[in-house]
A = this chain, B = another copy of it.
């Protein structure tokens, strides 16, 4: 599902900034299923050329989508749609999803020979580090 064409329609008279139009239309295409999780988006330069705009404008749109966790931009590699579960998924599904993810993690850890104690300690430490990093960001 890589190598998306991504046909966007910009409207100069809409009053909306170009980057906003890009953001909106990518979101729309994701909701409509035209774009799917895992899809690779065009490079900022490729899309910019197609839309006849500066690539920084596309980069700005991508950055907004990245901050919204909708896409994942990776310097030197490309830009991908993330795999966020749709907001309408039930709490039950959410729970099952996390449960499955956690089981895969624990399975792997135990397969590697780590003890319950080591694993739970590492999770605690990592969560703590994560929280501190996020606190710094929001300052």
Give the B-binding residues of A (Cβ under 8 A): 12-13, 15, 17, 28, 31-33, 38, 40, 69, 72, 74, 76-77, 80, 82-85, 94, 97-99, 101-103, 105-106, 108-114, 116, 118-120, 122-124, 126-127, 130-131
Contact = CB atoms under 8 A, between A and B. Distances in A.
A120 B112 contact: no
17 contacts: A13-B40, A13-B72, A15-B74, A17-B77, A32-B111, A33-B113, A84-B111, A84-B113, A97-B112, A98-B114, A98-B122, A101-B109, A102-B122, A106-B127, A106-B130, A120-B124, A123-B123
Contact of A113 (B13, B85, B102, B112): B85
A80 B13 contact: yes
A14 to B, nearest CB: 9
User: For the complex, would chain A's binding face be called helix, strand, loop or mixed by DSSP majority?
Assistant: helix
B112 A85 contact: yes
Q: Which 10 A-B pairs have the closest CB atoms?
A: A13-B80, A105-B105, A32-B112, A102-B122, A102-B126, A98-B122, A123-B123, A98-B114, A116-B127, A31-B112
